[in-house]
A and B are shown apart, each in its own frame.
Chain A
Amino acid sequence: MSDRKTLQIQRMSAHPGPIPGTGVQRDVQVCKLVDTTTCIGCKACEVACVEWNDMPFGATTFDNTYQTMPETRWNFWNLIKFNEHPREDGTVQWLMRKDQCMHCADPGCLAACPADGAIVQYTNGIVDFNQENCIGCEYCVSGCPFNIPKLNPGTKKVYKCTLCSDRVGEGLEPACIKACPTGCLKFGTKDDMKFIAEERAKQLRDNFGMEKAGVYDPESIGGTHVIYVLHDATDPERYGGLPKNPTIPWSYTVWKWLFKPVLGAFALFGGLGVLLHYVTVGPRRPQPEPPNKEGTNGNGD
């Protein structure tokens, strides 16, 4: 790996102790910018993703839409979601949004994952799955607010967009970015992308009459490393169910990191408790046979 700096592990699922190599790397955050106002739904990114990642082709069925399939698959990580959004005047706004892993700053999948090293977050912000460590429990699936990780039923491993960590690690842009013909996909540092996105949103507000144009970089999960420019940032749901305030289920946050150990300890206290009972109170033994009983004393032990 020529550029270990960008693929320095920042967090590691279920890993005790410090992360190897921390503190010796720079921390440039990478980011993918998707401008939905200039996406033309050409699906070049879909094809580039499938080809770069060498995925097998899967059958699809016509479903009254231009969308390739209803949602991403374990072997199809990048899907443009097509939505016909009815406007108030009866016309239709045709929305196309490239759906893929959002590479959350606070990744729900990683929080949910119980397998050591199955999910890592690099210091550059990429959230990556290491299938060799994956135990196939699919907790990540329910931990993800964007419905991204998908189980391969054959291997019982979960897969998702890697933000082409293999390419980014070599200093290349992700495959989808390279394939995008219109430049609606951009890749760079989070700061730069955020700047470009905000500028574009401002341009849409000032010059194209889209008063509600804005950037989707949800704070509720600490921001994402894939950000969108939306025609109407007040209603991300219309873009094929982009959650307005994505959250990680509390079971993978408060529960997992607070109540689990605490209550687990309580259970262990059960063990301690009985020990204490033995020491202080002592065992309760069978009482001797009372005198009115004929024969020998019973032996309790």
Chain B
Amino acid sequence: MTNGWIDIKNTDMMLIMGGNPAENHPCGFKWAIEAKIQRNAKTIVVDPRLTRTAATADLYLQIRAGADIAFLGGVINYALDNNRIARDYLVNYTNAGFIIKEGFKLPDDGLYSGFDPETKMYDKSSWNYEEGGDLSGKAVLPTPSGQNARATHVQGSDTGQGHQGASPAGAKAGASPVPLLPSKVAFDLSLQHPRCVFQLLKKQYERYTPEMVERITGIPQDQFLKAADLYTSIRKDGDMKKVSTIIYAVGWTQHSFGTQIIRTAAMLQMLMGNVGRAGGGVNALRGHSNIQGATDMAGVFDTLPGYLKMPNPNDVDLATYLKRITPISSKPDPWNSFNYWSNTPKFTVSLLKALYGPAATKDNDWAFHYLPKIDRNYSWVNIWNDMYEGKIKGLFAFGMNGVMIGPDSTKNIEALKKADWLVVCEIYPDETSEFWRAPGISADDQKKINTTVYRLPGAGFAEKDGSFTNSARWLQWKQIALPPPGEARLDQDILAMIYLKVRELYQKEGGKFADPVLNATFAYTNPYAPSLAEVAKEVSGKALADITDPKTNQTIKSGQQVPGFAWLKDDGTTACGNWIYSGSWTEAGAMIQRRGTEDPSGLGIYPNWAWSWPANRRVLYNRASCDLNGKPWDSSRRQVWWDEGKQLWVGNDIPDFKPDSAPKDHMGPFIMNPEGIGRLFVPLGGMADGPFPEHYEPIESPIANPLHPNQSNNPVVKKYKTEFDKYGTADQGFNVICTTYRLTEHYHYWTKNNPMNVQLVPEPFVEVPAELADRMGVHGGERVKVTSARSHYIAKAMVTRRIRPMKIDGKEMFQIGLPIHWGFRGIAEDEGKTAKTLANQLTPTVIDPNAFTPEFKGFLVKIEKA
């Protein structure tokens, strides 16, 4: 979330899409309700089903699963056509006026410039800004502030991109000359230049007419126009007072173009000047209580804690690595850019000191060579694909149920059959630890499975302390409610025991590259039961020598906790496990345990409640909540502002900005981008599949893309090639669109073991439109069989009028939906009340090229009476 849960109460307009917060985030949804009640805020819900969120909406549109970019692109087109945009914001806080290089081509045929059909990858050198100065000839800009023009490196997230699929081609990344962003970007602040981002954007989305939106999404034009008008109405006549927010969840991410959907939303919000403002932003609702924390702490293969990029084999030493990953600012010459990522070396060295302690010295590059280097894509789907192909021999499964998660659970089960060993730490017997009991595996088959399964009794969430990081980036400490029962152990105790045993074996027997294991910092009071408070302090960071801030003369003594990431050094005098969490546990105590309920501004900032990264800022990019002169766009929602007297940015929130950068310096509010501004156009390596989002059909789609039938799908998405990776088409009879989702009554695959939840929703079901059910002759409660190219799923039909037939590209089509919660172990399952099929046996193995998220939403099936 750019903003936060409570901040939703400050909004005037909500677009909820690709998410179902009322059902999946009911506690957070209170703030949406609060906005309705306190501000008369309107809600637009766009979803394949009339969900419980939609039930509270002012306007609900039924969209075809996977058509989100078309809808949002249409809204962008509408906003541009009707001048519902924030002109000042757009010109000064985004790259709308930046000129794009000659040779860049929009995807009229479905492809941007630079596509290589062989490798299915883009050469992105044309996706760049043109170097130069003011091309409008009428610059009304602050005086240049004496920046030195320097050649810059790409702030690209090259890691991982293009590494997906069966071809481990990523090792080559960086071998070819890396294109660079120009340090002086050519610009036209009148936005008239034909190659300026704004004009390209207009051209890109003028194809997304209401007619086209109707053809792709199935939303009738009049309804679409109603929604587009309502959503953009807050920017009527350029008035900047009102704010709208976009709220989404995995309904957007789980597509083969998921990241681009979210980018489309971000672009719309920047066009309308909604980012950085209270009640605005682009707000991702995380599906687990701590999934934000997992991502922050590098629960993803291609990052280190704090979103530092993972080294790759070409990073032969720390300097090379830092050179690659540290961006240098790139902007119109008269402007200023904070480019906060320029501090990357400080964060990296502090991390290495936290990881390896005294073993990390200046002489050994701070033990940089201890870090693993990623040579290919190790994302979720690839782990299972590699295991199926015999490249991965064993798996630790902690706090997740890999078989259930899928996609294509059958393939995951087959993969586990081929593994040598599997360690599962769980509180219930789950499908992963009992994959060999999956329906369809006979007793004879079971004898042929040689995987050794170790099941470890873990602890439930109420049996552990530690912190959760919520969607609003708050770190909140929780206490132990009761000790784990019986022989169950805390997860950290189990991990510590494994680590200490492995270290002991290395100490005794030696082995290949033992140093990282032997030298890892493990200085906990009780190494066999590390206290999570100690871990949290380690993550927040401490001084390893006395360090002094030259400006304030404040000194942090050696061994003391650092107050924040501004104190981190690249000379080995600080250690910090995650720079963005720096300051969460200081000498003043555990910020994450704070429970202050003061909210002086009334904006729901609650600065003394827990702690929000970064630096306890509650709304990211909050400089953008003010106009060029540093005055809030809306005087009733004052987050931060420029104090002329103090010559500082001050406010109710912590300014997400260089505190002493005066407005006249024209420093961009998006300090994490090397340009300092928000990117409508993502240059170079930022995105794998295009600098602007383009609508592509899901891999399994009932129609050819109406925009460019010859390039229907995302061109850089690759299909997998094992015998399990089958992809269905409408011609094969898979003519019903299917989407998966969660219910408010259940929590993933756990609560099927809890009688209370089972009482609320006892059995799996399939939501079927009444018209389709009539056609099939199926009544509510009768069993239906849903078949995809991969497998089938059997459950009772919930016949409903909440999903209606739709016209897609002129053809009548149906969508069905199925909740994912049931498997082959659980109360109903063990009582024989279900068919024991798994929803994710249906889903295809295909992933988004940027975030590697599987396409769980929007695939093809057929449905019949079972």
User: Are B759 and A181 neighbours in the complex by a CB distance under 8 Å?
Assistant: no
Q: Which residue from B26, B755, B765 sits with its C-beta under 8 Å from A40?
A: B26
**Is B455 engaged at the interface, CB distance under 8 Å to the other chain?**
no
Provide the residues of chain A in CB contact with B30, threshold 8 Å: 181-183
Which of A57, A58, A92: most chain B CB closer than 10 A?
Answer: A92
In Å, the complex CA distance between A207 and B43 comes to: 12
Given contacts A42-B23, A62-B781, A182-B29, contact A94 B802 (CB under 8 A): yes
**Is A255 engaged at the interface, CB distance under 8 Å to the other chain?**
no
In Å, the complex CA distance between A86 and B802 comes to: 10
In Å, the complex CA distance between A90 and B801 comes to: 9
In Å, the complex CA distance between A50 and B797 comes to: 28
User: Are A68 and B56 neighbours in the complex by a CB distance under 8 Å?
Assistant: no
**Is B319 engaged at the interface, CB distance under 8 Å to the other chain?**
no
In Å, the complex CA distance between A59 and B53 comes to: 27
User: Are A64 and B744 neighbours in the complex by a CB distance under 8 Å?
Assistant: no
User: Are A38 and B801 neighbours in the complex by a CB distance under 8 Å?
Assistant: no
Other A-B pairs beyond A40-B56, A57-B755, A181-B26, 4, CB < 8 Å? A59-B759, A62-B765, A62-B796, A64-B798
Residue of A nearest to B798 (CB): A64
Within 8 A of B (CB), among A37-83: 37-44, 46-47, 50-51, 57-66, 68
Provide the residues of chain A in CB contact with B745, threshold 8 Å: 43
B interface list, Cβ under 8 A from A: 22-23, 26-27, 29-30, 33-34, 36-37, 40, 50, 52-56, 58, 60, 744-745, 755-756, 758-763, 765, 779-781, 796-802, 804
User: Are A84 and B29 neighbours in the complex by a CB distance under 8 Å?
Assistant: no
Q: Which residue from B26, B40, B804 sits with its C-beta under 8 Å from A207?
A: B40
Given contacts A57-B759, A96-B55, contact A44 B799 (CB under 8 A): no
User: Are A62 and B762 neighbours in the complex by a CB distance under 8 Å?
Assistant: yes
* 7 pairs from A and B in contact (CB 8 Å cutoff): A40-B744, A42-B22, A43-B760, A57-B758, A62-B765, A64-B798, A181-B30
Q: Which residue from A40, A47, A58, A208 sits with its C-beta under 8 Å from B22?
A: A40
In Å, the complex CA distance between A138 and B850 comes to: 64
Total number of A residues with any Cβ neighbor in B under 8 Å: 41
Binding site secondary structure of chain A: loop
Within 8 A of B (CB), among A87-101: 90-96
Given contacts A40-B26, A64-B799, A203-B40, contact A47 B34 (CB under 8 A): no
In Å, the complex CA distance between A104 and B783 comes to: 42
In the A-B complex, list the 10 residue pairs whose CB atoms are closest, starting with the nearest.
A64-B780, A40-B22, A94-B55, A42-B26, A57-B755, A62-B763, A181-B27, A207-B40, A181-B26, A182-B33
Given contacts A84-B801, A94-B50, A208-B58, contact A64 B781 (CB under 8 A): yes
**Is A184 engaged at the interface, CB distance under 8 Å to the other chain?**
yes
User: Are B26 and A182 neighbours in the complex by a CB distance under 8 Å?
Assistant: yes
User: Are B26 and A68 neighbours in the complex by a CB distance under 8 Å?
Assistant: no
**Is A5 engaged at the interface, CB distance under 8 Å to the other chain?**
no
**Is A178 engaged at the interface, CB distance under 8 Å to the other chain?**
no
In Å, the complex CA distance between A1 and B744 comes to: 37
**Is A212 engaged at the interface, CB distance under 8 Å to the other chain?**
no
In Å, the complex CA distance between A68 and B56 comes to: 20
Provide the residues of chain A in CB contact with B796, threshold 8 Å: 62, 64
User: Are B802 and A40 neighbours in the complex by a CB distance under 8 Å?
Assistant: no
Residue of A nearest to B782 (CB): A64
User: Are B37 and A200 neighbours in the complex by a CB distance under 8 Å?
Assistant: yes
In Å, the complex CA distance between A62 and B760 comes to: 10
In Å, the complex CA distance between A64 and B781 comes to: 5
Provide the residues of chain A in CB contact with B34, threshold 8 Å: 183
In Å, the complex CA distance between A200 and B36 comes to: 10
> Would you give the shortest CB distance from A81 to chain B, in whole angstroms?
13
Provide the residues of chain A in CB contact with B744, threshold 8 Å: 40-43
Provide the residues of chain A in CB contact with B797, threshold 8 Å: 64
